[in-house]
Structure 1
Amino acid sequence: MEIVINRNLIFAENQYLETERLKLRPVTLSDANDMHEYASDEETVTYVFPIHQSFKDTKESIANYFMAAPLGKYGIELKATGKFIGTIDLRVVDQHNIAEIGYSLNKAFWGQGYVPEAAHELLSLGFEELKLMRIFATHDIDNPKSGRVMEKIGMKVEGNIPNARMWKGKVVTDIIRGITLEEWRKLHS
């Protein structure tokens, strides 16, 4: 008999997560100023999403993506200051028992281990509570910093996809990295 897992309920019960330095919580319109700070910066969003040309773009993004379907999507807030510095999400594909993780961080906070810290918490939720068998992520071959984050959380290269997509007028080769439940357990036993 197959065990049915209500993943929406699990996400609903885990909308607020904490790590040593971070609060992971729903994104709201009150985050618009902090999000616009990085979403309007080309270097920060080069590989992630189209640049926000206006404050209205940021508010629409929050309403249409984060608030319209909030489960599995988190704002990254620094505990020490309350500053909203980025987002991270876990997009579950129920029928395949897998999920994709994605993230974006204000460049002023790059290189301080915040994304691996937040991602580790979501991997834990994914494997321990959501009972996923694999979590993966994709990054542009020209964005090795994102790949480094994935390495830090135990993800291994699963493949390269040449001419995977067009992004901002450029042909992109994507690198897929992933971690299985078994690999996660080995790292945390």
Structure 2
Amino acid sequence: MESFTYLLVEHQLIKTERLILRPITLADAKDMFEYASDDDNTRFVFDTHPTIEITRQKIAEFFVATPTGKYGIEIATTGKFIGTIDIRIDPMNRSGCLGYALNKDYWGHGYMTEAGFAILDLAFQTLQLERVFAMHDVRNPASGKVMQRLGMTYEGTIRKSRYVKEEFVDDAYYSILKEEYKAK
């Protein structure tokens, strides 16, 4: 089997019915800053960006420096960059961790679920992973609903799992196995 890195690079552009998942560049800074500077959007996931220059730095350091498995979410008909989705691979355990962020102006339209299914297809069909998991701050149940719509099963809550924005947070964990995904 080919390496996970090679397969992710080979599949760095994914098209769905309404979306294009693609590499993130500095050209996305304006659209990313639109949501990364909004406390409602960043409350549970990362520090709010005070300036567009910080957004540009974060793009360079996180998305451009190590782009493999990280995708910008673009609406196909308009070209609007509305969020990110990524899968981090644990090769030894043939598993992946799914993460995402979406501009609140696009919540409730099924975009994240659509992007999530595209990444699960990649994970189970192309990468042949055995398990994909995700977690969310328990104070953000909407993120858990996305995981449920993706067919993930709640596994439990890890108390004080992460230190975010100067406080410890509890994370709810969900996962889906290859055989469960293929059965759907």
Indicate whether 1:108 and 2:109 are aligned: no
Q: Which runs of 5+ in 2 are unaligned?
A: none
Q: CA deviation at 1:159?
A: 1.1
Q: Is the 8 A contact 2:73 2:82 kept in 1?
A: yes
Q: CA deviation at 1:110?
A: 0.4
Counterpart for residue 22 of structure 1 = 19
TM-score (norm 1): 0.95
Counterpart for residue 165 of structure 2 = 168
Summarize the alignment of residues 56-95 of structure 1 with structure 2, pairs less than 5 Å apart. Answer: 56-95=53-92
SS for the counterpart of 1:81 is coil
1:84-126 Cα offsets, whole Å, 9 max, x none, are 0000001001111100000000000001000000010000000
1:6-49 Cα offsets, whole Å, 9 max, x none, are 11111111010000000000000100000000000010011111
Fraction of identical pairs, as percent: 46
Q: CA deviation at 1:170?
A: 2.7
Which of residues 143, 149, 170 is equivalent to 2:146?
149
How many residue pairs match? The answer is 184
Counterpart for residue 124 of structure 1 = 121
Root-mean-square deviation (Å): 0.8
What amino acid is aligned across from residue 5 of structure 2 in structure 1? N
Q: Distance in 1 between matches of 2:37 and 2:110?
A: 23
Q: CA deviation at 1:80?
A: 1.2
Counterpart for residue 175 of structure 2 = 178
Q: Is the 8 A contact 2:45 2:164 kept in 1?
A: no
SS for the counterpart of 2:40 is helix
Indicate whether 1:37 and 2:52 are aligned: no
Stretches of 4+ moved more than 3 A in 1? none
Q: Is the 8 A contact 2:157 2:172 kept in 1?
A: yes
SS for the counterpart of 1:76 is strand
1:111-144 Cα offsets, whole Å, 9 max, x none, are 1000000010000000011010000001011100
Q: CA deviation at 1:167?
A: 1.8
Q: Which runs of 5+ in 1 are unaligned?
A: none
TM-score (norm 2): 0.98
1:145-169 Cα offsets, whole Å, 9 max, x none, are 0000000000010111122222213
What amino acid is aligned across from residue 25 of structure 1 in structure 2? R
SS for the counterpart of 1:23 is strand
Q: Distance in 2 between matches of 1:27 and 1:84?
A: 9
Deviates more, 1:62-71 or 1:157-166: 157-166
